[in-house]
Amino acid sequence: MSDLVNLFPHQERALNETYKLNRVAYYLDMGLGKTFVGSEKLWELNTPFNLVICQKSKIEDWKEHFETFYPEYKVIVFDKQRLDIIPPESILIVNYDKVWRRPEISRLRDFTLMLDESSMIKNERSNRSKFVLQLHAKNVILLSGTPTGGKYEELISQVNLLGWNISKDLFLKQYTVREWDELDGGYKIIGYQRTERMKKKLREHGAIFMKTEEVFDLPLQNHINVKCKCPKIYKKFAKHHMVEIEDEMLIGDTPASAKMYLRQLAGAFNKNKLDQLKDLMESTNDRLIIFYQFKRDYEAIKLMCDELKRPMSTINGDIKDLDAYEKQESSVSLIQYQAGAMGLNLQKANKIIYFTLTDMSELFEQSKKRIHRIGQDKPCFYYYLLTEGTIEWRMLQVLKERKDYSDALFESEEM
């Protein structure tokens, strides 16, 4: 163990159980310290070169982590440097969107590969996944709290990296339940089978599953559905896929655009939902975290914060500002899922409002852990603003189903 690192017992247990393995997956729930477990395993494996692939927003965090706790390494954010001048005892950090654009990385040999949030390679056809899967890594470390997003088929790229050489066709045949979809002309997955057998195989290939509740006593979570009346214009668009609102014509000429506009009509275009949000904001001066999906949501909520004179912080693709959250108890923090559902530590707050939902299960589950984590000493409250009779209720149901599938992976094996 590095002299500068002190591990919790559960972290030592994860390392001890995988001590003899050089391909491992630490599927540890959010807040259990995957960063320390993964970096300690990397240190134990001790290869001259190490490649860490992470999300763009996490690059500086990883750089600071290694420089603080493993000063013996040369830490390099790998951008435009020449590979042949990289010295031994180095850790190269690159984000998922850039890694496949640096083909020289494929020349690396006898190195340790670590993927932070390894679910990022779930689409085996994407450029990043294809590139990562053909790397010649000696050792592999996968880190994720939500490895599948509730879809077991999304494990295939990861299990191949762990050395379980099972084809996609065989994996689907053995572990999924499918039926023919006449509309789309192909098979669709409607469930899963032989889950215990799959979990056993995963553990044999170095996968460790651990939930926060097994390790720490965290406060209760309270989930509250707040019903909002459905505007007539939503029903009009649902019927005709075309409507004019606020001098803008919304046309749902594809399934994707129709779904997007249905979500917005149930969200920022719905005065009833905005009124419910205002009531919630006026009911407390505590810190509030609000998750949202669309830019239109942000603009509407920002206007409300200005009207109520609530100090505001923002995390989205353009802004990263948590100053009000850090300094003012009455602050409201607007967090866009893609930019802030993973990695942020927001346990100064204990209330999250979901103004709109994401359809990505891993982002939804990770968002809840921004406040429900080690250091939180208050009960956590989650308010879901849901417009009656709309797509939002089905989205929430699907998210719950995906959570059930994910939780099944983390459960102890039946004896």
pLDDT > 90? residue 149 = no
Residue 415 confidence (pLDDT): 34
User: From the DSSP assignment, how many helices (H) and strands (E) are in the chain?
Assistant: 17, 18
230-264: pLDDT as tens digits: 999 999 999 999 999 988 999 999 999 999 999 99
Strand partners, 383: 224, 353
When the pLDDT of each residue in the chain is averaged and rounded to a whole number, the result is: 92
What tokens appear for 75 in the block? Answer: 């830490």
258-302: pLDDT as tens digits: 999 999 999 999 999 999 999 999 999 999 999 999 999 999 999
For 366, residues 6+ apart whose C-beta sits below 8 A from its C-beta are 30, 145, 146, 341, 342
- 181 falls in which pLDDT band (50, 70, 90)? confident
pLDDT > 80? residue 224 = yes
Does the model's pTM come out above 0.85? no
Task: Report the distance separating Cα 327 and Cα 224, nearest Å.
Answer: 27
- 407 falls in which pLDDT band (50, 70, 90)? confident
Q: Count CB atoms within 10 A of the CB of residue 406.
A: 23
Residue 414 confidence (pLDDT): 45
CA 162 to chain CA centroid, Å, is 21
Mean pLDDT on 340-344: 86
Task: Report the distance separating Cα 51 and Cα 71, nearest Å.
Answer: 16
Mean pLDDT on 125-150: 93
What tokens appear for 328 in the block? Answer: 């003012």
Q: Count CB atoms within 10 A of the CB of residue 171.
A: 18
Q: What is the DSSP letter of 218?
A: P
Task: Report the distance separating Cα 160 and Cα 167, nearest Å.
Answer: 8
Residue 187 confidence (pLDDT): 83
pLDDT > 50? residue 51 = yes
pLDDT > 90? residue 215 = no
pLDDT > 90? residue 94 = yes
Q: Are the beta carbons of 213 and 372 closer than 8 angstroms?
A: no
- Max Cα separation, the chain? 66
Residue 412 confidence (pLDDT): 63
Q: Rounded to 5 degrees, what are φ and ψ at 110?
A: 50, 50
Task: Report the distance separating Cα 299 and Cα 155, nearest Å.
Answer: 37
Percent of the chain residues topping a pLDDT of 70: 99
Q: Count CB atoms within 10 A of the CB of residue 234.
A: 22
pLDDT > 90? residue 368 = yes
Residue 413 confidence (pLDDT): 53
Residue with the bigger pLDDT between 133 and 212: it is 133
Q: Are the beta carbons of 413 and 201 closer than 8 angstroms?
A: no
Name the burial class of residue 224, with classes exposed (0-12), middle (13-18) and buried (19+) by CB atoms within 10 angstroms of its CB. exposed
What tokens appear for 74 in the block? Answer: 């040369």
Strand partners, 294: none
pLDDT > 90? residue 331 = yes
DSSP string, 233-270: HHHHHHHHSEEEETTEEEE--SHHHHHHHHHHHHTTT-
209: enclosing H helix or E strand: strand 207-210
Mean pLDDT on 103-119: 93
Q: Are the beta carbons of 395 and 293 closer than 8 angstroms?
A: no
Instruction: Report which of 413, 415, 404 is spatially closest to residue 150, judged by C-alpha positions.
Output: 404
Q: Rounded to 5 degrees, what are φ and ψ at 293?
A: -110, -45
Residue 408 confidence (pLDDT): 86
- 100 falls in which pLDDT band (50, 70, 90)? very high
